[in-house]
Amino acid sequence: MNNPNHNATLLNATCPACGLLCDDVKLGTSPALTLQNGCTKGIAFFEQAYKSPVQASPMLHGKPADLDSAIHAAAEILSRSKRPLFAGLGTEVLGMRSISSLAKRTDATLDHLHSNATVHNTRTMQHGGWLTTTLAEVKNRADVILAIGTGITDSHPRFFEKLVWNADNLFDKPTPEVIFLGAQNPGTQSLGAQDNPDHTATAPDGTEPTIIPAAITQLPEIINALNALLNGKKPAAGHIAGIATNTLAALADKLKAAKYAVIVWSASALKYPHAELTIQSITQLVNKLNESSRAAGLPLNSGDGDTSVNNVSTWLSGYPTRNRFNHGVPEYDTYHYSTEKQLQECDALLWVSTFNPHLPPETKAPVIVIGHPGTSLGATPDVFIPAGIPGVDHAGQMFRMDSSITLPLKKLRDSSLPSLSEVLGKIEALLPAGVKA
Amino acid sequence: MITLLKNGRIYDPAHHKNGVVEDIYIRDGRITGKPAASEKIGQTFDLSGKVVMAGAIDMHSHIGGGKVNIARMMLPEYQQKQAQEIKGLSEPEAHICTPHCSHHATPTATDTGFRYIEMGYTAAFEPAISPVNARQAHLEMGDTPMIDKGGYAMLGNDDYFLRMLAAKKDQKAINDYVAWILHATQAIGIKVVNPGGINAFKFNQRRLDLDENNVHYQVSPREILQTLSRAVHELGIAKPLHVHCNNLGAAGNFATTLDTMSASSGLPMHLTHIQFHSYGTEGDKKFSSAAAQIAEALNKNKHITADVGQILFGQTVTASGDSMMQHLNARHANPKKSVIMDIECDAGCGVLPFKYRDQNYVNALQWAIGLELFLSVEDPWRIFLTTDHPNGAPFTSYPHLIRLLMDKTFRNDAFSKLNLDAQAMSNLTSLDREYSLYEIAIMTRAGAGKLIGLNDRGHLGAGAAADITVYTDQPDREAMFAKPDYVFKNGELVVKNGSVVKVVWGVTHTAKPAFDMGVEKDLKDYFDRYQTMQLDNFKISDDEIASDGHGQVVVHHNSKE
């Protein structure tokens, strides 16, 4: 990356690389790619995008083909299919509208590539609900931030720069105290604000975060102990999951004393069965705190448009992913409609990944890939249609991680790549009328 | 092409037509005068004996936006159960449903449009768009076919406004901000929910009375209502400030509601879902009807309008911007779950499923209070038929509600099955009033269109959009209003015998009063320093609404006369 100030023209961009959806990003493309207000993920995203061609040929069985032929071939596969699986689903709002429409027409099953993580959050919300907050509330109100099982910056690099170390806030609050509980690599990501790779969750004024190490799999025990402490119970044991009970008691007191405590977690970090039970325990912490003071949860998303896809799917079908259409009627099942399970059942796979060149899983069924123009396919799919990258090749609408905010993605370059919606619209138009309706 | 609707019985209160038999001509989607004899009539519908009204307008229904989608997302088991029940449903379900009604509190965007048009409704207004969430609300409404849409933007709990108020900025600056919000959010009105209270909840206040100060800003709900109602009035927006009062759902809150009527110093205000704000504290259970006091005050205060927010029995979900009161009420959730959010220094939300039961004292009395209000408020131009969908009941229960209003025997029969203690605390059976078709047409058409400022909707005069509903006059008003013979949208036949025959897409109604663009200077600074998005991205362009090829923004100019 060069010094961006040397660039004559900078493009205002909204960066879809993570759920923070930073819209203060300015992109220079000449002579080299530069990014103002960028981060490691943003830079990687735009570099990958700009390395990819603006003109790319669709492929049929590995051989170049024109777009019309590819679309006809895809429509042919879907018309023959009785149980297609639409997976990946790396797209934004407008793309998901088209996916949903085509899915209804073809009785498809829908699963997003990050559902393994996301369903832990949705199931928690569906089971007991939760009390959550959004980014501007964190920025202006949070005085204590507890990050559970996540260092935050790996997945959301500018979190601290934008929301924690902000010089301005509405209520003259101090810089929040940050506590990492069982975080993997807290602050190992270079954040730019302070060039100190070992202590990058260190505030610009030198304040160190508190780090309470713990194995991810011990989080359930630790969070239950915190709940007990908040409910006035004193565990007899001196240590819980290797952590001194006093340390946890001090943490509970800190949360209680906070004016606005924010508890951050990342479902994708909780890689063990029934992680939704841990998330439920976290939401109980928040509920308990709110009996006397204010606190809120903040679930981090996993990426590739997961928040957009689940919101759009919900208002169009009534359900987030994992869902399907059965004779046009929407159905929901987070267990059975997983990509993993459906790969054994499906007779066609439509794999969509427009933000990143993620590869489709292996299957014996015919495969259609509509994806990032930089996708380098290993196994040869029946149909590959390179599509425009949302927020680079065409405009779009995208949900931020906190769901409350939807922002426009901008078209940044001239491109002859069709958008996902254009491709799917044409495929749908070719399907026989009333197919399986 | 000219379409002739021949010999219908016209109920068009905007033109004082109360069942007169007349012909209606439609040309290019609009109602027109009688064409010259030389002009060819393209098609004729013989409506002899049929009841003809303008398309109905729902002036308060949560049809799109974050909390509606949260409600959908958090209740998959409810939707699955509904889907099962619909399959075996042929007769109207005892309490509420019609054969068409899935009695679904969380319909998809598509179903929302279909269920509305099937009942003869041609427009619905989302009453609680939080400005930061407006884009989502419009995306969902953009996917809602058949009907026109619009919304009210929420102010009065946003830190920007409260800072202005605390800093005693002059009214002109406030007006500019309010107008800017209308433009930026593509809304047609301004709403305030629990004035100051949602914000106060973020500072750990748990209740806020009308004259109590928000601890941080040291401003009261009364000041917020005064300032916002004045802004709306001075900007010349037709739709009066839409007010969800403080203390929603709390026993004894009628006093707050009565006081609120005076807060605008005589300027127009609309008090929404007033049933939820008409509770006294009498009786053994310290929960009683204050409908009589509220109705009396409404009858006296001509500057106040209200919609009822009737509850009907069954499973639904309450989705509100009122995070403060929803957090307090979360213990009543059924099933027991709640989603509460603090949103972006702008708003809040609280979503909890709710099951109203006729044998529950409070629920039964809530049902009676709503009907007492309907029957005791004298002027049908100032009271509107709503269930605060989905909060009191799904909008699909309107035909049932209309029958309760029009049919005293039906009403009293239903009342006699309620919780006995609740029966003892209500004077409902002493209210003999039965609404007429003309009055129903006022509440659901002419009055609603006038209130919102839709000059070409809600009536059947020449020049009006040809949104027209045709019913068969039946003694069973529920059956009648559940299944119109015909519905015309912009002159096109879209529903026949209660079923959609053509899919169309309505417009988005907005109001865009003039303002000083200088307001953006301070806003830009505020956004750069405190918000987490760029000012320019906060604003929703006309193109965004039209971009999918379905939508269109219509601006209503409603300068004061």
What pLDDT, in 10s, does the model give residues B478-489? 999 999 999 999
User: Chain centroid to CA B63: how far?
Assistant: 9
Residue A100 pLDDT exceeds 70: yes
* Backbone angles phi and psi of B93, in degrees to 5: -65, 145
Task: Find chain A residues with C-beta within 8 A of B326's C-beta.
Answer: none
A–B interface: beta-carbon pairs under 8 A: 162
Residue B549 CB neighbour total at 10 angstroms: 7
Task: Find chain B residues with C-beta within 8 A of A406's C-beta.
Answer: 133, 135-136, 139
Residue B236 pLDDT exceeds 70: yes
pLDDT digits (tens, 9 = 90+) for B513-535: 999 999 999 999 999 999 999 99
Please report the sign of the dihedral spanned by the C-alpha atoms of residue B541, residue B547, residue B551, residue B554.
positive
Closest CA to A70 of A411, A383, A363: A383
d(CA A405, CA A134): 9
Q: Which CATH architecture has domain B56-452?
A: Alpha-Beta Barrel (3.20)
pLDDT digits (tens, 9 = 90+) for A311-335: 999 999 999 999 999 998 899 999 9
A241 to chain B, minimum CA–CA distance in Å? Answer: 30
d(CA A347, CA A80): 9
d(CA B204, CA B323): 12
Query: Nearest 5 degrees, angle CA B244-CA B296-CA B212?
Result: 40
pLDDT digits (tens, 9 = 90+) for B542-558: 999 997 778 999 999 86
The DSSP call for residue B442 is I
pLDDT of residue B247: 96
pLDDT of residue A8: 57
More confident site: A2 or A115: A115
Residue A117 pLDDT exceeds 60: yes
B317 touches chain A (CB under 8 A): no
* B336 in Cβ contact with A128 (< 8 Å): yes
Whether residues A140 and B133 touch (CB distance < 8 A) is answered with no
d(CA B324, CA B347): 11
Structural domain spans, chain A? 4-50, 56-114+304-430, 119-300
The rounded radius of gyration (Å) of the Cα atoms in chain A is 23
d(CA B415, CA B423): 7
pLDDT of residue B380: 98
pLDDT digits (tens, 9 = 90+) for A245-281: 999 999 999 999 999 999 999 999 999 989 999 999 9
Strand ranges across the sheet with A25-28:
A11-13, A25-28, A34-36
pLDDT of residue A208: 86
What distances in angstroms separate CA A264 from CA A134, A301, B290, B338, one per listed residue?
11, 11, 45, 19
Residue-wise DSSP of B462-504: TTSB--EEEEE--S-HHHHHHS-SEEEETTEEEEETTEE-S--
Residue A5 pLDDT exceeds 50: no
* B366 in Cβ contact with B424 (< 8 Å): no
Task: Locate B558 and state its tokens.
Answer: 């409603």
More confident site: A83 or B83: A83
pLDDT of residue A2: 43
Judged by DSSP in three states, B20 sits in strand
Judged by DSSP in three states, B22 sits in strand
pLDDT of residue A185: 67
What distances in angstroms separate CA A431 from CA A79, A103, A427, B342, one per listed residue?
6, 12, 7, 45
Residue-wise DSSP of B240-254: PEEEE-SSTT-TTTH
pLDDT digits (tens, 9 = 90+) for A154-195: 999 999 999 999 989 999 999 999 999 998 766 544 343 344
Asked if domains A56-114+304-430 and A119-300 share a fold, the reply is no
Q: How many DSSP H helices and E strands does chain B contain? A: 21, 24
Nearest to B143 among A14, A130, A316 (CB): A316
Residue positions counted in chain A? 437
N-term to C-term CA, chain A: 52
In the stretch 51-80 of chain B, residues with CB closer than 8 A to chain A read 64, 66, 68-70, 72-77, 79-80
pLDDT of residue B548: 74
Residue B94 pLDDT exceeds 80: no
Mean pLDDT of A79-90: 97
pLDDT of residue A9: 85
Task: Locate A167 and state its tokens.
Answer: 């010089």
Whether residues B342 and A134 touch (CB distance < 8 A) is answered with yes
The rounded radius of gyration (Å) of the Cα atoms in chain B is 22
d(CA B189, CA B187): 6
Q: Are strands A406-409 and B2-12 parallel, antiparallel or unpaired?
A: unpaired
HEC-encoded secondary structure of chain A: CCCHHHCCCCEEECCCCCCCCCCCEEEECCCCCEEECCCHHHHHHHHHHHHCCCCCCCEECCEECCHHHHHHHHHHHHHHCCCEEEEEEECCHHHHHHHHHHHHHHCCEEEECCHHHHHHHHHHHHHCEEEECCHHHHHHHCCEEEEECCCCCCCCCCHHHHHCCCCCCCCCCCCCEEEEECCCCCCCCCCCCCCCCCCCCCCCCCCCCEEECCCHHHHHHHHHHHHHHHCCCCCCCCEECCEEHHHHHHHHHHHHHCCEEEEEEEHHHCCCCCHHHHHHHHHHHHHHHCCCCEEEEEEECCCCCHHHHHHHHHHHHCCCCCEEEECCEEEECCCCCCHHHHCCCCCEEEEEECCCCCCCCCCCCCEEEEECCCCCCCCCCCEEEECCCECCCECEEEECCCCCCEEEECCCCCCCCCCHHHHHHHHHHHCCCCCCC
pLDDT of residue A187: 56
Closest CA to A396 of A171, A22, A97: A97
d(CA A143, CA A164): 9
Task: Find chain B residues with C-beta within 8 A of A139's C-beta.
Answer: 530, 532
d(CA B443, CA B549): 33
* Backbone angles phi and psi of B305, in degrees to 5: -115, 165
Residue A204: which residues within 8 A CB-CB, separation 6 or more? A165, A193, A194
Closest CA to B384 of B304, B448, B434, B435: B448
Task: Find chain A residues with C-beta within 8 A of B143's C-beta.
Answer: 97, 315-316
Task: Find chain A residues with C-beta within 8 A of B330's C-beta.
Answer: 129
Task: Find chain A residues with C-beta within 8 A of B132's C-beta.
Answer: 136, 404-405
% residues pLDDT > 90 (chain B): 92
Structural domain spans, chain B? 56-452
**Range A411-416 contact pairs with CB under 8 angstroms and sequence separation of 24 or more:** A412/A11, A412/A13, A412/A27, A412/A29, A413/A29, A413/A50, A413/A54, A414/A54, A415/A54, A415/A55, A415/A388, A416/A54, A416/A55
Residue A186 CB neighbour total at 10 angstroms: 25
* A248 in Cβ contact with A210 (< 8 Å): no
Query: One-letter amino acid identity for A361?
Result: P
**Cα torsion through B170, B173, B174, B179, rounded to 10:** 150
Mean pLDDT of B403-419: 97
A324 touches chain B (CB under 8 A): no
B409 touches chain A (CB under 8 A): no
Query: Nearest 5 degrees, angle CA B484-CA B485-CA B491?
Result: 95
Residue B90 pLDDT exceeds 60: no
pLDDT of residue A202: 79
CATH code reported for the domain at A119-300: 3.40.228.10
- Whether the ω angle into residue A31 lies within 30 degrees of 0, i.e. cis, is yes
- CATH number among 3.40.50.1470, 3.40.47.10, 3.40.50.740, 3.40.50.970, domain A56-114+304-430: 3.40.50.740
Query: Nearest 5 degrees, angle CA B506-CA B508-CA B514?
Result: 150
Which residue is listed with tokens 């006729």?
Answer: B358
pLDDT digits (tens, 9 = 90+) for B277-303: 999 999 999 999 999 999 999 999 999
Nearest to A128 among B70, B79, B337 (CB): B337
pLDDT digits (tens, 9 = 90+) for A221-232: 999 999 999 999
Query: One-letter amino acid identity for B130?
Result: S
Whether residues B108 and A316 touch (CB distance < 8 A) is answered with yes
pLDDT of residue B81: 76
Query: Please, what is the average pLDDT of chain B?
Result: 94
B543 touches chain A (CB under 8 A): no
**Residue of A37, A314, A411, A424 to mutate for B, most B C-beta atoms under 10 A:** A314
- H or E element: which one contains B110? helix B109-118
Residue B172 pLDDT exceeds 70: yes
Residue B424 pLDDT exceeds 50: yes
Confidence of residue B559 (pLDDT cuts 50, 70, 90): low
Judged by DSSP in three states, B414 sits in helix
Whether residues A94 and B533 touch (CB distance < 8 A) is answered with no
Judged by DSSP in three states, B146 sits in coil
pLDDT digits (tens, 9 = 90+) for A347-400: 999 999 999 999 999 999 999 999 999 999 877 899 999 999 999 999 999 999
A335 touches chain B (CB under 8 A): no
Closest CA to A314 of A136, A118, A134: A118
Half-sphere exposure of A50 toward its Cβ, with a 13 Å CA cutoff?
17
In the stretch 82-121 of chain A, residues with CB closer than 8 A to chain B read 93-94, 97
Judged by DSSP in three states, B239 sits in coil
Residue-wise DSSP of B336-397: S-EEEEEETTTEEEEEEEEEE-TTSHHHHHHHHHHHHHHHH---GGGEE---TTTTSS-GGG
d(CA A367, CA A351): 7
Q: Are strands B492-496 and B486-489 parallel, antiparallel or unpaired?
A: antiparallel
pLDDT digits (tens, 9 = 90+) for B375-408: 999 999 999 999 999 999 999 999 999 999 999 9
Closest CA to B272 of B238, B239, B300: B239
Mean pLDDT of B442-467: 97
